[in-house]
Structure 1
Amino acid sequence: MGTSKTFMEKTAAPGASAGFDYQYYYFLYKTLNLKKGQSVGLEIKDDVHTDVDNDLQLLFQLKHTIQKQADGKPVALTELDTDLWKTLHNWAKVISDQNDGRATEAAQLTFVSKTEFHLVTNKSTSCSNKFGIFLASYVEDHTLENLEEILSRITELKTSTSDDAIRRYISAVTDLAPSVKQEFFKKIHFELSEIEIIQKIKNSIAEKFIPPSKIDEVYERLNTNIRDSNYIEILNGKAFSVVFDDFTTKYSSIFQDARDNKLSNLRFEPPLPDDLLSQPFIQQLLAIDDVYDHEEEIIMEYSTHKLRIARSLEQWEQNGEVVHDEIQALHSEVHLRWNNNHRIAFRGCRSDEVKEKGRAIINTMRQEKYRLGKDELSTEYSNGELYELSDLSRIGWHRDWEKL
């Protein structure tokens, strides 16, 4: 006897969450493939839709499953699959929607002539799905023989199933006028085994002449910005759609930044050492009263800056975004500026001025930005470079910093 599920397990919906994400990622994929004059919408005309031009719209129903076969692949789309017939039902209701001006057969035929219907799912193909096979044959070759095979199979399926919901879904399709069904079936497309949606998004980014090392960064920036825009539009009670011209205007800078070979924006939270105060660069700052040992928050912030620049330099070099001599040139330039400031500050300095002079040096250098290759580093990275060199005992702020 199986273990009963807890209330939390019953109310949790990981499958539903994955389904929402699947729908959004497909929308993002279609957005990246817009052409001039086209637009794509999320949950407006369908789960996703694309307006190609005034004479063609594409409706996409997205169906996602977390159910697996024995081999670990998603389950197949079967002939009596609820996802299949609910999708066809929804489209049949859209086609015959009286409230949208399609009460007549003529209006329905006009709508179908301007529309393609796409079922997109991660479910796999089933060789036993005769309905799907017949439908694909009819889409390829619009013969009456192929049409009759579809209609006959629908009748058999409706008779064989004991599921009232599926019978109701099938009825919505069969209730369409014969001429409408004839044209509707020509326009249905199945996109099965669509599993790697995120990889398809990244492939689309690569096709826009983005260097391989920048693809993940462009993906993250686009994903974040478009998700935020979608959320804001929903809060404002508006439907979210993207027009080609608006997309290029709002997001072209993301692609341009990547093509200009700007350094990747590596955002990560590095693990901090257990004993923050024992770090050499913190000891240097304590020695000139730039920080105090009780200022835990600022010490953590400075430590994070130091670790981020160190890790980023390693990653940029591994990615081929910079070469080793460019990193060495950065260190040398910062060291030279420090040396000039240090010599000027402590020439003729009295003992009671040492700490003040030390703070003046680092405060001056914190306001400067340093270059790595062709790129100007951010203030965070520039400050982190100071802390990193200090931690390596290459620079210091006290007059006698080497003896501390």
Structure 2
Amino acid sequence: MADKKSFAEQTSADTKEIGFHYQYYYFLYRLLNLKSGQSVGLEVKDDVHTDLNNDAQILFQLKHTVQKNSTGDPIALTELDGDLWKTLHNWAKVISDEVDGRSQKPEQINFIKRTEFHLITNKSESSRNKFLEKLEAHKATTESFKDLHSHVKFLHSKTQDATIKNHIGVVLALEDDVLSLFLRKIHLEMNLADLHSLIKIAIKEKMVPSSKVDVVFERLDSNIRTDNYINIKQGKKLELDFDSFYSRYRNIFATSREPLQLGRPFVPAYPVDIFAQTFIKQLIAVNAMKINDIEKAFEYTTNKLKIARFLDDWLQSGDLVADEVEGFHKDVKFKWRNAFEHWCEDCLDQEVIEKAKQLLYDLRKIDFSIANSNLNTELSNGELYHLSDEKLIGWHRDWKTL
């Protein structure tokens, strides 16, 4: 019979695994909230840390529990909670770390002044946690440090847990003015269980369509995990600044855009004299259509009106921005110019019509693109007719003077 792990062993392993993921996903959440000049680290200065651009820093301790209360919710954070005092103990050790040059009070106070200490947990709040109640009162200057300090000493004498007693003792070992300042810089965020939802909200806030949020999340998660694994193998710190995060992962966000909808309904409003349009006159001038071909005139005009309307609709709806539309027109004009120089610029008089029709034929075969979306032939041809109607491009060698 195969050896089986005890329930305690299984729970311990599961707890460590969930705790690791909780820590990692909070790191990912902080990455998504980076601003220029800031950086985020995983297990560098703390479980997670953020360096701000004014020499300030935020240290995050992450504590996750799988224990449930009678209603099925995570247990409450009590005033003698092991996670609470282990966290404060760890920070007290960091504050007074001799190796980092903080054995004396001035260095400790300077460190605390530029640091915030955040405990993040999925544990729920407890109305019976007098320590946290007094802590918040002390931060709001409605309770003296003396009263808070007395309560901490009371907890130290009350607990029968040797580990917790030791942790509280390390906190109490800080000099009074150091401890008072430290306690005022502590922040707790409880009931934080659903990090995935927070991450997805942060992704959506980066202008990612709702339908693409899950895809972006999965790709970002996968790529960052892979990069973290590689960095750990190479002995590198897991720390990213805003510029590195942007340059490394921006394409995940850029490629999440919804493709432009090309099949939307369209009812054109035709001009009174359809043959008076500049682009129609240009087509007739190079024998690309007959002077009385009303069917083609309406077809080509529909193409021209449709692309103009769609571009305006996409701009108004936010599917495109102005510089994308401008860049689209510019790119089509560049493609026209390259082809025009090849076919028409130096053609002989007897070749003008033949070369113009070849130029038009070549360009009509191109499906242009805008904002990662490929346009169909109808809209692509419509763009050519639109630019021609605006007297920005032409087919005849002498189109500007026709």
Corresponding residue of 1:53: 53
> How far apart, CA to CA, are the structure 2 residues paired with 1:23 and 1:69?
23
Alignment partner of 1:65 is 2:55: no
Q: Which deviates more, 231-240 or 185-194?
A: 231-240
Q: Secondary structure at the match of 2:37?
A: coil
Corresponding residue of 1:19: 19
Tell me by how many angstroms 1:261 deviates: 3.4
Alignment partner of 1:257 is 2:255: yes
Corresponding residue of 2:74: 74
Q: Secondary structure at the match of 2:144?
A: helix
Q: Report 1:349-368 matches (<5 A).
A: none
Aligned partner letter, 1:154: V
Aligned partner letter, 1:162: Q
Give per-residue Cα distances to partners, 1:197-221, cap 9 Å, x unaligned.
1100000001111110000000001
Q: Report 1:328-347 matches (<5 A).
A: none
> How far apart, CA to CA, are the structure 2 residues paired with 1:7 and 1:19?
20
Alignment partner of 1:131 is 2:131: yes
Alignment partner of 1:229 is 2:222: no
TM-score w.r.t. structure 1 length? 0.62
Q: From the superposition, tell whether residues 175 and 221 of structure 1 become closer, same or farther in structure 2 (CA, over 3 Å).
A: same
Query: How many residues were matched structurally?
Result: 264
Corresponding residue of 2:101: 101
Corresponding residue of 1:343: none
Alignment partner of 1:86 is 2:93: no
Q: From the superposition, tell whether residues 254 and 261 of structure 1 become closer, same or farther in structure 2 (CA, over 3 Å).
A: farther
Corresponding residue of 2:111: 111
Corresponding residue of 1:402: none
Aligned partner letter, 2:196: I
Corresponding residue of 1:173: 171
Corresponding residue of 2:351: none
Unaligned runs of 5+ in 1: 264-320, 322-370, 377-404
Corresponding residue of 2:149: 151
Q: Is the 8 A contact 1:57 1:114 kept in 2?
A: yes
Tell me by how many angstroms 1:48 deviates: 0.1
Q: Is the 8 A contact 1:61 1:120 kept in 2?
A: yes
Q: From the superposition, tell whether residues 210 and 138 of structure 1 become closer, same or farther in structure 2 (CA, over 3 Å).
A: same
TM-score w.r.t. structure 2 length? 0.63
Give per-residue Cα distances to partners, 1:19-73, cap 9 Å, x unaligned.
0000000000000000010000000000000001243100000000000011111
Corresponding residue of 2:327: none
Q: Secondary structure at the match of 1:98?
A: coil
Q: Is the 8 A contact 1:142 1:186 kept in 2?
A: no
> How far apart, CA to CA, are the structure 1 residues paired with 2:198 and 2:131?
28
Unaligned runs of 5+ in 2: 262-318, 320-368, 375-402
Aligned partner letter, 2:141: H
> How far apart, CA to CA, are the structure 1 residues paired with 2:108 and 2:20?
30
Aligned partner letter, 2:14: P
Aligned partner letter, 1:238: K
Corresponding residue of 2:192: 194
> How far apart, CA to CA, are the structure 1 residues paired with 2:74 and 2:211?
31
> How far apart, CA to CA, are the structure 2 residues paired with 1:19 and 1:29?
15
Q: Is the 8 A contact 2:61 2:120 kept in 1?
A: yes
Aligned partner letter, 2:214: D
> How far apart, CA to CA, are the structure 2 residues paired with 1:164 and 1:65?
21
> How far apart, CA to CA, are the structure 2 residues paired with 1:244 and 1:56?
16
Corresponding residue of 2:31: 31
Give per-residue Cα distances to partners, 1:229-267, cap 9 Å, x unaligned.
11111111121011001111111111111135389xxxx
Aligned partner letter, 1:132: L
> How far apart, CA to CA, are the structure 1 residues paired with 2:90 and 2:121?
16
> How far apart, CA to CA, are the structure 1 residues paired with 2:226 and 2:6?
29
Corresponding residue of 1:162: 160
Corresponding residue of 1:216: 214
Q: Secondary structure at the match of 2:69?
A: coil
Tell me by how many angstroms 1:228 deviates: 0.7
> How far apart, CA to CA, are the structure 1 residues paired with 2:8 and 2:86?
24
Tell me by how many angstroms 1:136 deviates: 1.5
Q: Is the 8 A contact 1:134 1:146 kept in 2?
A: no
Corresponding residue of 1:280: none
Tell me by how many angstroms 1:164 deviates: 0.8
Corresponding residue of 1:142: 141
> How far apart, CA to CA, are the structure 1 residues paired with 2:185 and 2:130?
18
Q: From the superposition, tell whether residues 165 and 71 of structure 1 become closer, same or farther in structure 2 (CA, over 3 Å).
A: same
Tell me by how many angstroms 1:375 deviates: 5.5
Q: Secondary structure at the match of 2:52?
A: strand
Tell me by how many angstroms 1:8 deviates: 5.1
Q: Secondary structure at the match of 1:7?
A: coil
> How far apart, CA to CA, are the structure 2 residues paired with 1:259 and 1:120?
33
Give per-residue Cα distances to partners, 1:273-313, cap 9 Å, x unaligned.
xxxxxxxxxxxxxxxxxxxxxxxxxxxxxxxxxxxxxxxxx
Corresponding residue of 2:267: none
Corresponding residue of 1:293: none
Aligned partner letter, 1:51: D
Q: Is the 8 A contact 1:97 1:103 kept in 2?
A: yes
